[in-house]
Amino acid sequence: MSPTVRPFALDLSTPLSTADGEITERRGFLVGVDDPARGLGEATPLPGWTESFDACEAALRNPPAAWDRVDDALGDGRPATPAARHGYRLAVLDAAARDEERPLSAHLADRGGFEAPADTVPVNATVGDGSVEDTVAAAQRAAEAGFDTAKLKVGARSLSTDIDRVRAVLDAVDLAVRVDANGAWDRETASEAVEAFASFGVEYVEQPLPAGALSGLAALRGRGVGIAADESLGEHGVGALLAADGADVAELKPMALGGPDAAIDAARRLLDTGVDPVVTTTIDGAVARAAAVHVAAAVPDVRACGLSTGDMLVTDLGPDPSPTVDGAVRVPEGPGNVGSSFDGCLRD
């Protein structure tokens, strides 16, 4: 059955640097199915993490038969077009949850073998690169807005400056701090960074080494601070990350993994192996952000997630169904993902 596919473009509040250079908008597709109920999905490809916009559209216009089954597990197979699969599978899962008259989070919790999902999900504030003073000011604004956790971007400056930035934030603000180097460091710098951040009580160091360095990540574990994988998971998948013992924490991006179902299956595998999943968006529209919130709500006692990204868009698919309040997002309560509130988007 071919889904209804409608392209959209959403303006970013500030340009985003990607594997294909800077982008100023997020282009994607709304996806509609009508079996067994009406279902709505979103496919928003991101260069470096998923297929291209054109490949996404081609896959959506002619979805592989294997995508049709609600209980279809991805296993170790990583989809060639994860954003397209996400859009289609979200529509199918939304239809199933709406037919069951329960939230998508409950449907996904059942799939993962988890208890009842949470009503809210803690989220981190993101603090970009900046001077020591600017970093502290941004962290203070996050604390005043009610966040308990901040993720500081590091790796763009010298390690000694990044250490000063992190130390200044921990001295000035009562926040849990995690840092994300986006693969910027070599092994020697990463080793020094881990030693320093462990002594400060940083929660975890995300992607201290380039995506391909799974054994290098493994060697950084057990030194007093958690090691998180993000780009490594995108490049190698959950199976390879687990086989390498590469991380204490894994960032799950449903859009890059191939769907909310693939993300829940990955969360189950990670938790069974003692790795903590954290759910993050790929700076998506409101429909996919809500789906990521449902995924996170289904994960028991999930750590603060990277789901507070709606304000990175100037325009959106509709009113935010899961706004951030006091450092948490509320899980949409209606049946399915966002209920019927976005159905009109497909008809406009």
Interaction site with Mg ion (CB under 5 A) = 180, 230
Instruction: Report the run of H or E that residue 152 belongs to, with start and end.
Output: strand 149-153
The owner of tokens 């896959």 is: 59
Is the Cβ of residue 112 or residue 183 nearer to Mg ion in the bound state?
A: 183
Catalytic residue list contains 151 = no
Residue type, 208: P
Distance CA 5, CA 41 (A): 9
Is 230 among the annotated ligand-binding positions? yes
CB of 98 to Mg ion, least distance (A): 32
Nearest residue to the partner Mg ion, using Cβ: 230
Is the Cβ of residue 98 or residue 153 nearer to Mg ion in the bound state?
A: 153
CB of 180 to Mg ion, least distance (A): 4
Distance CA 252, CA 281 (A): 8
Residue type, 16: L
Instruction: Quote the radius of gyration of the chain (alpha carbons, Å).
Output: 19
CB of 306 to Mg ion, least distance (A): 8
Residue 129, Cβ neighbours under 10 Å: how many? 15
Catalytic option among 26, 78, 165, 253: 253
Is the Cβ of residue 170 or residue 205 nearer to Mg ion in the bound state?
A: 205
Distance CA 264, CA 296 (A): 9
Catalytic residue list contains 253 = yes
**Residue 318 C-beta-side C-alpha neighbours within 13 Å:** 18
Is 99 among the annotated ligand-binding positions? no
**Residue 78 C-beta-side C-alpha neighbours within 13 Å:** 15
**Alpha carbon separation from 136 to 157, 166, 240, 283, 308 (Å, rounded):** 16, 9, 37, 24, 19
Is the Cβ of residue 59 or residue 154 nearer to Mg ion in the bound state?
A: 154
Distance CA 281, CA 284 (A): 6
CB of 332 to Mg ion, least distance (A): 25
36 upstream amide cis, omega within 30 of 0: yes
Catalytic option among 86, 89, 98, 153: 153
**Residue 21 C-beta-side C-alpha neighbours within 13 Å:** 0
CB of 213 to Mg ion, least distance (A): 15
CB of 201 to Mg ion, least distance (A): 20
Distance CA 162, CA 169 (A): 11
Q: What three-state secondary structure class fits 244?
A: coil
Q: What three-state secondary structure class fits 139?
A: helix
Under DSSP, the state recorded for 209 is: S
Is 180 among the annotated ligand-binding positions? yes
Is the Cβ of residue 207 or residue 322 nearer to Mg ion in the bound state?
A: 207
Q: Which residues sit in the known binding site?
A: 180, 206, 230
Q: Which residues sit in the known binding site for Mg(2+)?
A: 180, 206, 230
Query: Among all residues, which ones are annotated catalytic?
Result: 153, 253
